[in-house]
A and B are shown apart, each in its own frame.
Chain A
Amino acid sequence: MTMDGTQKTPTKRSELQMARSMCWHCQSEVTGEYFCEQCVKVQPLSKEMDYFTCLGLPRLLTIDLGALEAKFYELSRTFHPDFYQRKTDSEQNISLGNSAMLNTAYRTLKDPIQRAEYLLRLEAGSAKDIRTSPPADLFEEILTLQEDLEAYRSASDQDPATVARLRDKLATDRELLEQRQREMDRRLFELFTRWDALHSRQSRTDPASPDFQKDATAVLKEMREILSNRTYLCNIVNDLTATTA
């Protein structure tokens, strides 16, 4: 796994090695990837291992989904409890834990939004802020929507024509919001590409250099903001769908 962006990773990696250097069963040094070479017992995946490492991918935001799936299937065959039915309880528990972690890793990386949120957690400690008020550039739309929703809710018992008109209005509002969501997604994917490019240039740019740090921080910051706004927007749209359903 080559393109690690931050400096603290090397220390983490060595801790990771320490954590699983000894076989839980025969206490010999583990040299194999998932199994002890001495006693052939399955080893627990380190809890510190990140999902990209787990699934054999570089820590980038644009990923090869085919390769991801192939690795997931390969590791499922390695760890799935079906193949540990006749083994000891300890091995069955390791198989269960490893499979659960593998499934979480795959699910997280498969979805671009979850993947970006996860990368932000790895790189910046947290994925997004939980917004309680609408983002500034969405303020107008949200305000209009709130008024329309209010009118629709109080008009529910009134004449069908009014209800139908308000329903149409809400549909238009929703389309507008979904349009905004698509814009956000577009910008998000631009940032994905920038992040990946930044890390592919790593061989030329010193990761510790101020320029690299500045660029990387800016990308992360904008991604974080978009993800926060996007979640807020999704909640509003879901609420809208539930109300008009």
Chain B
Amino acid sequence: MTRIVGIDLGTTNSLIAYMDGQTPRVIAGRNGRGMVPSVVAMTDNGLIVGDPAKEHLVRNPERTIYSVKRFMGKSLEDVSEELIYFPYKLQEQGGVIRIQIGDKTYSPPQISAMILRELKRRAEEHLGEDITKAVITVPAYFNDSQRQATKDAGLIAGLDVLRIINEPTAASLAYGLQKKTQGTIAVYDLGGGTFDISILKLKDGIFEVLATNGNTHLGGDDFDRTLVNLLLHDIRDQHGCSLDQYPDQMQALRLEAERAKIRLSDEQKTMVALELPSGHGAFRREITRDQLEGLTTALVEQTLGPCRLALKDAGLQPAQIDEVVLVGGSTRMPLVRRCVQDLFGKVPHSELNPDEVVALGAAVQADILSGGTQDMLLLDVTPLSLGIETMGGVVSPLIRRNTTIPASAKEMFTTYVDGQTSVDIHILQGERELARDNRSLARFQLKVPPLPAGVPRIEVMFLIDANGILHVTARDVRTGLTQSVEVKPSYGLSDEEVERMIGESFTFAAEDLKARQLIEARTEAEAIIKATEKALGLGGHLIDSAETTAIKAALAALETARSGDEHREIRARIADLEKATHHLAEVLMDTSLKEALQNKKLSELP
């Protein structure tokens, strides 16, 4: 049986988890951290993902991509208001955003695939086997295009995405597994870029989603921005310096704001400090939790409307919710907790780490799919109504929001003109009356035999599968023949494009490897340089001056190699330095100072 892993592909951080017997576990990287920052840096030396890429946010802002999830399945127009916050250039092609890095462009699924590949590699290293199958989570309120884009990202990363599941429902699986809960629960999931609320009924291992709602453009990023705007204003006032011109400083400020926000979840006040561009000095200011709450209250209150709507759709009063579960890093904010508690009238749960619970749930779902767990079953819903455009631009609904999936609807089509050979069909997602106010999902053309008007009868079946993704089939009722329907997504990559990107991803993989080898060699070089300097300080008097000179020369050579781009060169100089320090290490070993050497040996360990 091939193993299936669970992946939480987040706006800010991503995680990968697997089922270890009966227990879902997040796989930590070499640094011991389970979270991989969803940051990709396209350096001259290749591709860097995760923690090391985060450093490039400030060093290399135009070539370092973060929060790419906000662009998944979106057009440029959709994100026009937040463009000013991103240092990289965006374009649009075929309804899909393209991120311009140097003279190349990348679609959001390609960038997400780079993050997925890093997670895949991490799991392969940990489990010692090839990983090819995965369950990936998405915000419950993601529409069809956003789900499809996530699936495309998996394909590009070389993963067979067996299931797309909703983040709050994944979280409920992890909770349900742990606590064997029964009753009605509300999962409030506020992450880095998205907000979801899901109301579920748990009974005898069935997790039935009653209603879901949310906002795919509301999260921690938005909180950071309110703080950034305040600080920008202050810096302009006090230092007469406008940071807009300095993408690196803007990133440094954004990260500083994020850190301050996080600290204010535990502290009442904190200090923000930033080196300003030369000639403008340094900026410092204190921020209190009250001030942060003043800035973010309106945003947090934006989550309450969707909560009320979900309750209404579930036919429940807040008091009828037995338990409230918090998911997502932003729920660490005391203000968020207070608001949730006020709405539901009970203290929300957060026993499981809100950063990890979604990935853990994805691993549980993966286990269900692989036939491991049989006693739990998730019955999820489609978050948005699906309909088709009819005469006059009005939407005729086919599948209502909060319908349990898989869900299907049939619609009969005919012609209005004699001899008409095709019917154009426009599929939309959303809750509004008029087509133009909803999200265009796809268009397709139904082929019809040339007959008098009204005679042809084509039955079209719209089916939303367990991933929340739409499939369309058509059948000529008179002949019984089915016809394949080629659906052109309004905001998505074509199959050919995905194919091409899968091909390109192998090139990235090679660059990726090169970059990783370089990073690892540099890290090792730094450690050995530090250890040697320490050993020289401790035992320099125990060796003769010729030996000291030789060691210092080897050190200098390694320093030079380290700032270069050749991992082989760095490795060679590391070997030289080790040779040069061999005697010193022995001498130290013989003295009571051998501790220093042990430190050196430890630092060499991976």
Contacts and interface: CB of A to CB of B under 8 A. Distances in A.
29 contacts: A73-B203, A73-B204, A76-B206, A76-B379, A77-B206, A80-B379, A80-B466, A81-B466, A82-B163, A82-B365, A82-B368, A82-B378, A83-B377, A85-B162, A85-B370, A85-B371, A96-B463, A96-B466, A99-B406, A99-B466, A100-B407, A100-B408, A100-B463, A103-B403, A103-B405, A103-B406, A106-B404, A107-B403, A107-B404
A101 B377 contact: no
Interface string B354-377: 000000000001001111001001
Contacts of A77: 206, 377
Interface string A83-101: 1011000000000110111
Interface string A2-13: 000000000000
B370 A101 contact: no
B342 interface: no
Given A76-B206, A82-B369, A86-B371, A100 B406 contact: yes
A77 B377 CA distance: 7
A20 to B, nearest CB: 18
Given A96-B465, A100-B408, A107-B404, A83 B374 contact: yes
A104 interface: yes
A96 to B, nearest CB: 5
Interface string A101-115: 101101100000000
A77 B406 CA distance: 13
B377 A82 contact: yes
Contact of A104 (B163, B407, B465): B407
B474 to A, nearest CB: 16
Closest 7 CB pairs of A and B: A100-B408, A100-B406, A103-B404, A85-B369, A99-B406, A81-B466, A73-B206
Given A82-B163, A82-B369, 4 more contacts: A73-B206, A85-B369, A86-B371, A97-B408
Given A86-B371, A100-B408, A81 B465 contact: yes
A101 B408 contact: yes
Interface in B371-418: 371, 374, 377-379, 403-408
A101 B404 CA distance: 11
Interface string B457-486: 000000101100000000000000000000
B407 A80 contact: no
A39 to B, nearest CB: 19
Contacts of A103: 403-407
A26 B463 CA distance: 27
B252 to A, nearest CB: 44
Contacts of B405: 103
Nearest to A73: B206
Nearest to B375: A77
Contacts of B463: 96, 100
A86 B378 contact: no
Contacts of A97: 408
Contacts of B466: 80-82, 96, 99
A163 B42 CA distance: 59
A81 B406 contact: yes
Contacts of A83: 371, 374, 377
A101 B163 CA distance: 21
Contacts of A82: 163, 365, 368-369, 377-378, 466
Contacts of B374: 83
Given A86-B371, A96-B463, A100-B463, A76 B377 contact: yes
Contacts of A104: 407-408
A50 to B, nearest CB: 16
Contacts of B377: 76-77, 80, 82-83
Contacts of B369: 82, 85
Contacts of B404: 103, 106-107
Contacts of B406: 81, 96, 99-100, 103
Interface in B133-173: 162-163
Given A80-B377, A96-B406, A107-B404, A86 B370 contact: yes
A83 B406 CA distance: 13
A95 B21 CA distance: 28
A105 B368 CA distance: 25
A77 B162 CA distance: 19
Indicate the member of A76, A86, A100 with the most B CB atoms within 10 Å.
A100
A103 B407 CA distance: 7
A81 B466 CA distance: 7
A203 to B, nearest CB: 35
Interface string A177-188: 000000000000
Contacts of A107: 403-404
Nearest to B365: A82
A73 B206 CA distance: 7
A86 B206 CA distance: 21
A108 to B, nearest CB: 11
